[in-house]
Amino acid sequence: MTKYLFLIAYSVCSNLSFGQNTNFTVKEIDSIVKRIDSTCIRAGIVDYTFHNIRHKKKIIGGGADWFYTDTSRTKLLKAVKETSLASESIDIYYFYNDSLIYLKITNRTYTEDKNRITWQGQYYFQNSNQIFKQGELNFVFNSKSYLETARKFFSPDQFWRRGN
């Protein structure tokens, strides 16, 4: 009898362990995101500007990427990409084992000194596949472009990798 109880307990524990299970539920991903937000540290920021194609000196917008790592500064946990052109976009990427698991995007416009959210969404990923979406139904979400941006955060020349 104790042999069966041990096998059942082992099976339950191995299925709940993060190292064993890469097929997370939305609830489990939400839990990982909360843990990342409470433990990550800022490892660097990169600012950039957008110039008019015809007039190289004319700045038409800008942006910044913030990188958040674990305490050893060797593992990227979160990246925030903010761009401002005609509107402001904020994309927050969350990673687990160097793979995108959650993305939150928000687009804001400013009219008459008022900040208005144009659209926003939350997207859950598993092994580079979108598994769940919450957000605006009329917003066309192209997961491939966001996954490509997420991959670029892991390139060897990224600021957070250089140990600022």
pLDDT at 2: 53
pLDDT tens-digit profile of 14-36? 343 333 346 899 999 999 999 99
Task: Give me 114's structure tokens.
Answer: 């008022």
Evaluate if residue 78 carries a pLDDT over 80: yes
Per-residue pLDDT, 8 = 43
Q: Distance between CA 145 and CA 82 in Å, rounded?
A: 15
Q: Is 82 exposed, middle or buried (0-12, 13-18, 19+ CB in 10 A)?
A: middle
- Residue with more model confidence, 15 or 111: 111
Q: Which two tokens stand for residue 13?
A: 């524990």
Least confident of 58-62, 70-74, 102-106, 134-138: 134-138
Helix count and strand count (H, E) for the chain: 3, 7
